Chains A and B, each alone.
Chain A
Amino acid sequence: MTELLLLVLLLPLCGCLFILTTKKDNINAFNVAVFTLFAVILLIVRLLQLQNMQMYDIEPYVIKWFKEYNAKLHFRADIYSLLLLLSVDISLLIGAVGLTVKQRKNKTLMLAGVYLAWTFGGLFCAGDMISFYIFFAAQLLPLFMLMGKFGNMRKNSSLSLFFIFNFAGIMLLLTAIILLYKFNQGNVLLTDITTIGLPRHLKLAVWSLISLSFIIRIPIWPFHYWISSISAGIKNPLVYIITVMLPLTGLYGFMRFWQYHIPQIVGSYVPVIAVFGILTMLFIAIIGTSHKDFLQKLFSYSTVYYLLFLLSDILLNGMYKLNIVYALFIFMIVNSSLAVLDLWSENACEESNCGYHGILAYMPRLSKIIAFFVLIAVGLPVSSMFWNNFVLISAIFKANFAVGLGIMISISMVGMALLYELYVMSDLQTNYPATEITVEDISDRKLAFFIGVIILVFLSFFNPLWFII
């Protein structure tokens, strides 16, 4: 199993090398990227099968990297990391499928996508703090490049802010790691990180730095600005999906560093995070309803849900991690599918000049698929997201009624916003064209792909890990 894990980590890196050797303006880079992602998905499924739902039974793979500093790098995988990695790779695959022919020929885009798949793999399988830091920080440059180059960015200041904020977060994490490293006289396993004996004031400093570095990525107010400003105007499905995935790294950081329990010293500050989290959720939900763009609403939806998962983790003291991961698994797939489907409809709009209102009326296939995914997103009980969100929100209500109420209001608002947008896209009455318009619907292959995704989502309703047992 360790060899399989190593393969999961190395395959995207090999994919990157192959993409580098492909010719410019050629579809080969896309083919390599899709093949790599598909192969990694199969490997993860095989790993999950071998692991058979038990936690921590994969022997860690250890690399003796820097003997002098006692820096051994550990890579291990459990159900959380494998499921999250699977959802990330499936989402990236969905994003790749969503690209136009011209976009598929972009070698840099493919390279960055596969490189990010590698960093996500490394991050989710990191067993110690140095390897976690390496992959956490390694994501910055490709993300920055993708957003700046392919996201139709016009605001350079927002892009600089994105880099500086994230760089600051990375520096904060590095400082915390250096302090922990010093007191442990070497690298620390993530499972042991809460047990290191530190003086009280230093412990507070270390955990504050770690929390801050993750919060910057989620993003809670006042760090929310950059991500909302840069996600606006991104019209490339793969880049949009990657941007929306960024908070997952912060959320995963919290889940891993506070694996078993929240350190006592920061436990008293959890209500503060909860207050900021709820305020951000409400604020983003209100902003989401006021936008007239589906992607903006989808962005608000995803941010609100990330905050829900964060609050579930920290308010419930890490007891519902598996529910969070099950919910996240479907959430990521649904989110990326919606982004791709919306961008397809927007492209069809542009090509046929029929206008955004009622576009789905001309595209019956796309209409059915997008409606299904919107309904899953708002809480249709056909996927594991519904059940697990239900469990999480119930537990939050039990723990803190006010927070539960805030969450319910926020998720209702973003859900309503998505439904309204679906209505606008389907409703032909208000904007009936004078002449007959023909819009090309999605192809058979794309339809088949999304039917496959729908089956995957639907099967998760009975058991999120149906492919194992």
Chain B
Amino acid sequence: MLEHLLYFSPLLILVFGAVLFMLLPQVNEEHTAYFKTARIILLISFILNIIFYNKDPLPDITASNRFVLLFQSMIYVCAFVILFLSRKWFVAMNIAGTHFCGNLFFVVCSAYLLISSTNLYLTSLAIILFMVGNFFMLGNENKKQEVNISRNIYGAMSVIIAMLLFISVYIFWQSNNNLSYADLRSLLALKPDDMRLYCASACIIISFLFLLNLAPLHFCFTETTGIMVLPVFTYFVLIPLIAAMGAFVEINIHVFAPIYEHLAFFYRVIALLSVGIGAIGACSGKNIHKILSCGAVFNFGIVFLLLYDFNFESLQITFSYMLIYLLSMSGVCASLYGFRIKGEYLFMLNEIEGAAQKRPYVSAVLCILLISLLGLPPSLGFVGIFAMLNNLAMQRHYYEIIYILLMFLVLAYAYLQIIMALYFYKSRESFDRADKGIYIAMMLNMVIMMIILMKPQYFSDYLAFMTESVFE
């Protein structure tokens, strides 16, 4: 019993963190100690998770392997980065930020469960919890009317997704009482032509598409990120995508493998649609958050396209591309914390005009990271785009290559607007001094990117080692 409790300790600590911060009052004064405590709790949970990564307290419904550890670690690191960066925002706004921390712990718990789940009951529950967490996260520290509208739309969509999940669970439960991934896989292999099972599978896939913000279910993400506050934006472009991708890969390998040949075309259409909509959508706005969130739709479209048959090679390339994207994106988010005028964080293109004159280092880092997101050498993004295109060429997906490169051109125009706003206009106002922590975060990000760029083989080998366990 004690042993099982120990194996559960990372999750229990996260739950403790969530409850603790939810119960703490949201006072309107700066309390950096809250964020420090949150980071310590998160770090303890992370360390315990690494120590007990291969110990499974509930082998029937959860899995513990290197693949799960990889995704859980990514979530921990991203949550840590979010806590580190968002503290600056809450200090600037003179808000304690306890509810934000509590919310973050809650979604990290849900993500933890979602990634380690091997049972449809638990997966559905984790997805619903995740959506609840996202719903509350959207309302964090934002009093604007538009946010409430977007939040309500997200809530309505979440209810629909929850209903779809319920239908799916009910159908599978009717066909087979046990909803473990292994049993569901056998069921799908036994009844490959059962329409009801197809519908149930489709419901699950739709819920993942919603979490991954892929087209045509991207609108909630792109519309809400445009108006949300910076810490919430940072959360939305990092954690939900990692959690959903990890769980989606697992469920496809362990459950949908028998029907994958029927799904492949659907996945490809979704991926190409996301790439197109993401790139074109990015060009239509003057809001930096919206441009970047459309960029996320574009990049996750590519990630989705790379998953063509869920084999070892495709997964390795997918995760390389995804990790490079996440690394660049976390750097972009860090640099956005450096643009502030009179305590207000900026997110419109006209607000950051001429920022390079006042904040040259932050602007330079943002510029380099945007170039990295476009895959231009000598930035790290080149490694990702090279591996991605090479992989598509090996699969003879020539039309997809042409389409992706065309869309990269469209996306380049959108990112160009940010770079031009930063550099080619005269600064009208004086920017607030950026916190040292932001410079440290950006510097760390650049150093990590440089190391990977110099020795991509180590990074690739590490990913291969972590990924192979998903097939066990």
Contacts and interface: CB of A to CB of B under 8 A. Distances in A.
Interface in A171-189: 171, 174-175, 178-179, 181-182
Given A66-B383, A181-B390, A148 B460 contact: no
B460 A68 contact: yes
A148 B420 contact: yes
Interface stretch (B127-135, B261-269, B371-379): B371-379
B367 interface: yes
B378 A138 contact: yes
Given A66-B383, A167-B409, A137 B460 contact: no
B61 interface: no
B424 A156 contact: yes
Interface string B357-387: 0001000000100010010111000110111
A266 interface: no
A140 interface: yes
A164 B409 contact: yes
A67 B413 contact: no
B145 interface: no
Q: Chain A's interface: helix, strand, loop or mixed, by majority? A: helix
A164 B377 CA distance: 16
Interface residues of B, number: 32
Interface stretch (B51-59, B296-304, B400-408): B400-408
Contacts of B367: 141
B394 A182 contact: yes
Q: Chain B's interface: helix, strand, loop or mixed, by majority? A: helix
B390 A69 contact: yes
A68 B387 CA distance: 10
Contacts of A179: 393
B456 interface: yes
Nearest to A171: B405
B48 interface: no
Contacts of B416: 160, 163-164
A138 B376 CA distance: 7
B423 interface: yes
B174 interface: no
A134 B413 CA distance: 21
A137 B393 CA distance: 21
A319 interface: no
Given A138-B376, A141-B371, A171-B408, A164 B413 contact: yes
Contacts of A145: 423
B34 to A, nearest CB: 37
Interface string A64-99: 011111000000000000000000000000000000
Contacts of B306: none
Interface string B240-281: 000000000000000000000000000000000000000000
A446 interface: no
A159 interface: yes
B177 interface: no
Given A145-B423, A164-B413, A175-B405, A134 B390 contact: no
A153 interface: yes
Nearest to A24: B360
Contacts of B412: 163-164, 167
Given A133-B377, A149-B424, A181-B393, A174 B405 contact: yes
A178 B377 contact: no
Interface in A185-242: none
B386 to A, nearest CB: 8
Interface in B97-149: none
Interface in B203-249: none
B378 A134 contact: yes
Contact of A67 (B376, B401, B419, B457): B457
B376 A137 contact: yes
B78 interface: no
A179 B376 CA distance: 18
A66 B456 contact: yes
A451 interface: no
A178 B401 contact: yes
A63 to B, nearest CB: 10
B404 to A, nearest CB: 9
Given A138-B378, A164-B416, 20 more contacts: A65-B456, A67-B457, A68-B461, A69-B390, A137-B382, A140-B376, A141-B376, A145-B423, A148-B424, A149-B423, A156-B420, A160-B420, A164-B412, A170-B376, A171-B405, A171-B408, A175-B402, A181-B393, A182-B393, A182-B394
Interface of A: 65-69, 108, 130, 133-135, 137-138, 140-141, 144-145, 148-149, 153, 156, 159-160, 163-164, 167-168, 170-171, 174-175, 178-179, 181-182
Lowest 8 CB-CB distances: which A-B pairs, in order?
A134-B377, A182-B393, A171-B405, A148-B424, A178-B389, A137-B377, A67-B457, A178-B393
11 contacts: A66-B457, A134-B378, A137-B382, A141-B376, A149-B423, A171-B405, A171-B408, A174-B385, A178-B390, A181-B390, A182-B394
